[in-house]
């Protein structure tokens, strides 16, 4: 009788992930997970070795958003997992699928002060939808399938699987391993038909209707149905930051340039996959009318009625519910189309034109160093319409939302619901990897503030190592939201201790991030003028092989409007 075939825990993990359709793993190897990474590569799963677990977890979460399927962040025990909690919380708050797999102390060493021993399962529970350690090596496939299911069903989110070192190294008979079928895609849910009728009736009665399109609509793949609905009804729409592109920002029905007026004066608002959180000012005065009627469509039932009581709440997949709206409109004898010559449309168009004129004045500012508007206008002029834009920073991101339009869904990645700084380079890396494998030729452009890129700047080495032709643009104002010029910095720090003299928001002036990219193996360019932006960025976009970076120097006091900072330290004298 032949000896029974044996298999180790690492191989079971890899085979289970492959069976569940996992395509990418991001992480940093070490004790005890190196064997897991090797086994995954043997199964054909792509492993991306990162420089920090935070960036790895951000990258894995980004794949979840772009594909609707979880990627894995693989981390070592203790500190490695703690670093990855940042990405877990970001994915959970944004509603993105993510699985974190962490190695941990051997089970027989627990409680004895084992290497990097930490209460990992307990610690991850508040950052995830599901957190567990397999009860045995044989049952690893059961837990991996459950993590995939939890991460994608309902509101998507993060899950954690803990693997003790002796589970990874241990072996069992192949015949004893649980056989688990692949997790099917999450079911698509429809709203109650009576609620659909109520929603359409409320929109038809509205004098000042507004549709708000959130990133949940993008995740749902609802772009086709939403565009048809908006064009059929002639309704003004406003995208949330990552809802940009579900319907093109340059569409005639988009009122982003009149955002404040649209929110403040709308009497009926249809929320499509958007939450009434801080991004939308909680749906309350003074940013909204006190008597505004809200129609809420959301995949998560617990979100319905949060912060404001909706006139009707529709629990369901955004794409499915909007298709229900379209079917209901077809039943109406005369259909429904909002009057394009109404007082509401007239008011919105006037505000749009006024704000465009204000922006144009800033764009035409010829002062050197540049302001944000001049710099971002030159950048936008060269961006491919179908590129994925990663946009992160303080003013860089906020102003970028207005200056960098999106034409396609899921093509803008920023700090999101959790407002996380430091996600940009990880997001860009994941997006570029996804594009290379699934949408060849599509470019990824990562437009970062100089503070933002500092969180994960060494991941540029990872980008070079994996030959991902990302174009980085650093909008460099030498500070966190606000910087100071080189002469002031030199004078200040020569006279006094920089820890006392320099403002808390200041960074070293005019840091050469372009030279950093060159040192890591990419191409780097310094741009001090608008024409230098154009010349440098064109070279970057023409190079489809090497990663590149344009370091754009702007004024330290550049902002949406001039601000007067009054600090209690010596910096108040600036």
Residue 492 is predicted with a pLDDT of 79
Q: Are residues 159 and 249 in the same domain?
A: no
544-556 pLDDT, tens digit each: 999 999 999 999 8
Residue 213 forms beta bridges with which residues? Answer: 239, 272
Residue 388 is predicted with a pLDDT of 98
Q: Are residues 457 and 545 in the same domain?
A: yes
Report if residue 257 sits inside a domain: yes
Report if residue 143 sits inside a domain: yes
Residue 188 is predicted with a pLDDT of 95
Q: Are residues 423 and 517 in the same domain?
A: yes
Phi, psi of 35 (to 5 degrees): -65, -30
571 pLDDT higher than 70: no
What's the pTM value of the predicted model, to 2 decimals? 0.94
Report if residue 340 sits inside a domain: yes
Q: Are residues 93 and 233 in the same domain?
A: no
60 pLDDT higher than 60: yes
Domain endpoint, select from 316, 348, 380: 348
Q: Are residues 28 and 128 in the same domain?
A: yes
Q: Domain of 315: which CATH number?
A: 3.40.50.1220
* Alpha carbon distance 265, 356 (integer Å): 20
Question: Which residue, 179, 176, 141, is CA-closest to 161?
Answer: 141
Report if residue 566 sits inside a domain: no
Give the three-class secondary structure for 270. Answer: strand
* Cβ atoms within 10 Å of 561's Cβ, excluding its own: 6
Report if residue 399 sits inside a domain: yes
For residues 28 and 49, is the Cβ–Cβ distance under 8 A? yes
407-452 pLDDT, tens digit each: 999 999 999 999 999 999 999 999 999 999 999 999 999 999 999 9
Which range, of 152-161, 206-215, 225-234, 481-490, averages the lowest pLDDT?
A: 481-490
Q: Are residues 128 and 229 in the same domain?
A: no
* Alpha carbon distance 293, 322 (integer Å): 18
Tally of residues, the chain: 574
Query: Is the bond into 32 cis (omega within 30 degrees of 0)?
Result: yes
* Alpha carbon distance 249, 383 (integer Å): 15
Band of the pLDDT at 2, cuts 50, 70, 90?
A: low
Give the three-class secondary structure for 263. Answer: helix
Q: Are residues 449 and 516 in the same domain?
A: yes
How crowded is the C-beta side of 384, counted as CA atoms within 13 Å? 14
* Alpha carbon distance 448, 472 (integer Å): 7
Q: Are residues 227 and 312 in the same domain?
A: yes
Give the three-class secondary structure for 62. Answer: helix
107 pLDDT higher than 70: yes
Q: Are residues 523 and 380 in the same domain?
A: yes
**Structural domain of 283:** 193-348
Report if residue 144 sits inside a domain: yes
Q: Are residues 37 and 93 in the same domain?
A: yes
Q: Are residues 172 and 250 in the same domain?
A: no
Residue 110 is predicted with a pLDDT of 81
Residue 156 is predicted with a pLDDT of 97
Report if residue 184 sits inside a domain: no
For residues 422 and 455, is the Cβ–Cβ distance under 8 A? yes
Q: Domain of 95: which CATH number?
A: 3.40.50.970
CA of 361: how far to CAs of 355, 403, 533, 561, in Å? 10, 13, 19, 12
- Give the count of domains, the chain: 3
Long-range pairs for 281-290: beta carbons < 8 A, 24 or more residues apart: 282/307, 282/308, 283/307, 283/308, 284/308, 287/260, 287/263, 288/263, 288/264, 289/264, 289/265
Q: Are residues 405 and 295 in the same domain?
A: no
For residues 502 and 519, is the Cβ–Cβ distance under 8 A? no
Q: Residue 438 burial (CB < 10 Å; 0-12/13-18/19+)? A: exposed
CA of 444: how far to CAs of 90, 488, 540, in Å? 21, 36, 11
Report if residue 573 sits inside a domain: no
């Amino acid at each position: 009788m032949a000896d029974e075939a044996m298999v180790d825990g690492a191989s079971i993990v890899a085979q289970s992930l492959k069976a569940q359709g996992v395509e990418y793993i991001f992480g940093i190897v070490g004790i005890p997970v190196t064997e897991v990474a090797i086994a995954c590569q043997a199964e054909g799963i792509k492993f991306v070795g990162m420089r920090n677990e935070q960036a790895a977890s951000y990258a894995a979460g980004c794949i979840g958003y772009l594909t609707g399927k979880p990627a894995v962040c693989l981390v070592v025990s203790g500190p490695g997992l703690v670093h990855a909690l940042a990405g877990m919380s970001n994915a959970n708050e944004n509603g993105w699928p993510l699985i974190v797999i962490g190695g941990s102390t051997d089970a027989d060493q627990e409680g004895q002060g084992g290497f990097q021993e930490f209460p990992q399962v307990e610690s991850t529970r508040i950052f995830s939808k599901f957190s567990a350690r397999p009860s045995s090596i044989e049952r690893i496939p059961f837990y991996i399938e459950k993590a995939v299911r939890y991460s994608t069903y309902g509101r998507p989110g993060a899950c954690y699987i803990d693997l003790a070192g002796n589970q990874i190294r241990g072996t069992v008979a192949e015949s004893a391993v649980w056989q688990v079928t692949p997790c099917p895609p999450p079911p698509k849910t429809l709203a109650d038909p009576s609620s659909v009728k109520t929603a359409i009736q409320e929109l038809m009665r509205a004098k000042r209707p507004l549709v708000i399109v959130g990133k949940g609509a993008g995740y749902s793949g609802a772009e086709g149905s939403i565009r048809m609905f908006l064009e059929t009804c002639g309704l003004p729409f406003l995208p949330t930051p990552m809802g940009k592109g579900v319907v093109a920002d340059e569409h005639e029905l988009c009122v982003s340039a009149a955002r404040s007026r649209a929110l403040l004066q709308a009497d009926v608002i249809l929320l499509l996959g958007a939450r009434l959180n801080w991004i939308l000012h909680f749906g309350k005065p003074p940013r909204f009318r006190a008597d505004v009627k809200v129609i809420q469509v959301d995949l998560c039932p617990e979100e319905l009625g949060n912060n404001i009581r909706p006139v009707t709440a529709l629990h369901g997949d955004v794409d499915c519910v909007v298709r229900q709206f379209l079917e209901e409109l077809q039943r109406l004898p005369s259909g429904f189309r909002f009057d394009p010559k109404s007082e509401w449309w007239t008011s919105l168009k006037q505000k749009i034109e006024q704000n465009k004129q204000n922006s144009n004045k800033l764009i035409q500012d010829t002062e050197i160093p540049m302001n944000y508007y001049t710099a971002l206008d030159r950048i936008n002029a060269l961006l491919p319409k179908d590129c994925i834009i990663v946009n992160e920073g303080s003013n860089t991101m906020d102003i970028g939302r207005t200056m960098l339009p999106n034409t396609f869904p899921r093509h803008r990645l920023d700090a999101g619901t959790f407002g996380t700084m430091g996600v940009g380079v990880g997001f860009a890396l994941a997006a570029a990897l996804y594009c290379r494998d699934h949408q060849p030729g599509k470019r990824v452009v990562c437009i970062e503030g100089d503070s933002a890129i500092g969180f994960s700047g060494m991941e540029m080495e990872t980008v070079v190592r994996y030959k991902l032709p990302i174009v980085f643009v650093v909008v460099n104002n030498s500070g966190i939201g606000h910087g100071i010029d080189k002469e002031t910095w030199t004078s200040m720090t020569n006279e006094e201790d920089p820890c006392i003299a320099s403002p808390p928001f200041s960074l070293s002036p005019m840091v050469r991030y372009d030279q950093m990219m060159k040192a890591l193996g990419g191409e780097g360019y310094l741009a001090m003028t608008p024409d230098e932006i154009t010349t440098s960025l064109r070279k970057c976009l023409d190079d489809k092989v090497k990663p590149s970076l344009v370091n754009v120097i702007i004024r330290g006091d550049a902002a949406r409007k001039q601000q007067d900072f009054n600090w209690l330290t010596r910096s108040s004298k600036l």
